[in-house]
Amino acid sequence: MSSVKINIISNYLGSGWCALMGVVFLPFYIKLMGAEAYGIVGIFVSLQAIFAVLDLGLSQTLNREVARLSIDDRNAGLMADTARTLEIIYWGIAIALVVIIVLSADFIALDWLKSEQLPEETLIEALWVIAVVVGLRWPIALYMGGLNGLQRQISVNILLAIFATLQGAGSLAVLSFIEPTLRAFFSWQALVALLQVVAFRTIFWRRLASPQPGSFQNDVLKEIWRFAAGVSGISILAIILTQLDKVILSKLLTLSDFGYYTFAATVASVLYRLIGPVFTAYYPKLTEHVSNKATYLISSDYHHGSQLMAVVVLPLALTLAFFSREILELWTGDSDIVMHSYLLVSLLAIGNALNGLMHMPYALQLAHGWTRLAFYSNVVAVIALVPAIIAATSHWGPAGAAGVWVLLNCGYLLVGIQLMHRRFLKTEKWSWYIHDAGKPMLLVFIIAAVGHVIIDDDMQGLPVLVILASVFLLTSLGAIGVSPFIRHRLWQLLSRS
């Protein structure tokens, strides 16, 4: 079995388990701590995402450099120097993050958040512990980037699954048996984060297997700064686009309402657990093909990865979008959560699915070291859509912000692909639109829409579950059936068996 297949399988097993651990306990967290306290968890998630701008493109740079250098054993020393240089910078940023959040705690708690029940002292204390958790989790992205570049994705997924279980199930145990407070929740998260970063760092350096420990080298920075700066610019703008809704809502809404929005965003983000494994598996391979100038392999893996992305993302996304109310009712049994969240889940799931389809084209651009298109696309998006997000949120609340996220990704899909294929794989643009994305999207939409018409508002329990399972199965089979690369590979596997 090829390394790409093994990596994809391991990525999905690990990512699927992490997704389960990430969402299955959410209703219990809200019930034990309250929606307002869970809003602080949303602040924690947003802070992590916002401070990701300080990554400066280093984790993806390490991924690319390790993938590029590892094809020649003579580069072992250079790989170690690159890893050590970026590691020192990364830990310096981690310390700075802790200081920034601690110093900002009073302002966030007293002047920004709108708490109706939680005491100010509780909010400040929670933010202090959040600072520690963010600082400890920060370097994990770098070590993951390095391990992915080494194509050690099995190791990454084993570690992610272990610590996702500790974070999810452990938090529930702490809230249930010790105390249902923010202090208990985040103290446990800090302990797990400490264990996690130690484990990732240890495994990464062992897998690097360099004869020397590596040292900080200015020459490394001179070599990689241009690519890192491009990725950093893209990341900064992407974070503005994806997190601005949460920043605005955390100011305009009560913590309770913001908690429901955080819940919906977390549910919809499960789709990234499907998106990430495909991107992570194909990006290093595309980088290798570009380095070896293997044009046919670049084209083949690009289309195969794009179709695989559509097959794994669209069925779940549109099932979630069309049946969000029914799914939340079956899962949570809580009418308040359903009422406040189902529309948000639908809109955010659609936006995330469209965003997912753009990941393989983005991987192709990074493999060529070309960051200009993504950077300027995000610049235009920020200029055009930031006012739209503010206006929509002011008029329609959370649903307005979620709707703008859908429009943003429609723009990327319609314009970004056109521009990218003027530079790479110039004759294959329409193949991507028709075979890689268009046919699967249309068929899945039709099947999900028919299922939505069939389902009755009075249905409950098993009949609803049967319809949901049938829609998901039919959309999955339909997407496979209209995706030529996936259909061909599946037929080959079945023929061999």
Query: What are the helix (H) ranges across 209-323?
Result: 218-252, 255-268, 272-291, 295-322
| CB distance 70 to 62 below 8 Å | no
Report pLDDT for 74: 67
Report pLDDT for 71: 65
Give the single-character DSSP code of 67: H
Q: How far apart are CA 440 and CA 352, in angstroms?
A: 16
Q: How far apart are CA 343 and CA 336, in angstroms?
A: 13
| CB distance 265 to 48 below 8 Å | no
Residue 450's domain comprises 3-496
Query: What are the helix (H) ranges across 292-422?
Result: 295-322, 324-332, 335-357, 359-367, 372-396, 398-411, 417-420
Report pLDDT for 325: 92
Q: What is the DSSP string of 161-229?
A: HHHHHHHHHHHHHHHHHT--SHHHHHHHHHHHHHHHHHHHHHHHHHHH--SS-----HHHHHHHHHHHH
Q: How far apart are CA 243 and CA 289, in angstroms?
A: 34
CA distances to 21, 101, 270, 355 from 274, in Å: 14, 31, 7, 12
Q: Cα-flanking dihedrals φ and ψ of residue 139, to 5°?
A: -70, -10
| CB distance 359 to 374 below 8 Å | no
| CB distance 93 to 135 below 8 Å | no
Q: How far apart are CA 393 and CA 152, in angstroms?
A: 42
| 3-class secondary structure, 404 | helix
Give the single-character DSSP code of 100: H
Q: For residue 99, how many other CB atoms are within 10 A of its CB?
A: 11
Report pLDDT for 224: 65
| 3-class secondary structure, 119 | coil
Report pLDDT for 361: 93
Report pLDDT for 57: 64
Structure tokens at 114: 């709108």
Angle of CA points 237, 240, 246, to nearest 5°: 165
Report pLDDT for 19: 75
CB-side neighbour CA atoms (13 Å) of 455: 27
Q: How far apart are CA 274 and CA 312, in angstroms?
A: 7
Q: Which residues of 123-132 are buried (b: 16+ CB within 10 A; e: fewer)?
A: bebbbebbbb
The pLDDT tens digits along the chain (497 residues) read: 455 567 667 777 777 787 788 778 888 888 888 878 877 887 787 777 666 656 566 676 777 777 777 666 666 677 778 788 888 888 888 888 889 889 988 888 887 776 777 788 888 888 899 899 988 988 888 888 888 777 777 888 888 889 989 998 999 999 999 998 888 999 999 999 999 999 998 988 888 766 677 777 767 666 666 666 666 666 666 667 666 677 777 777 777 777 888 889 888 988 988 888 788 778 878 888 888 888 888 998 999 999 999 999 999 999 999 999 999 998 888 888 889 899 999 999 999 999 999 999 989 998 888 878 887 887 888 777 778 878 888 888 888 888 988 998 998 899 889 999 999 998 999 999 999 999 999 999 999 999 998 887 777 777 888 889 999 999 999 999 888 877 777 776 556 54
* Total count of domains within the chain: 1
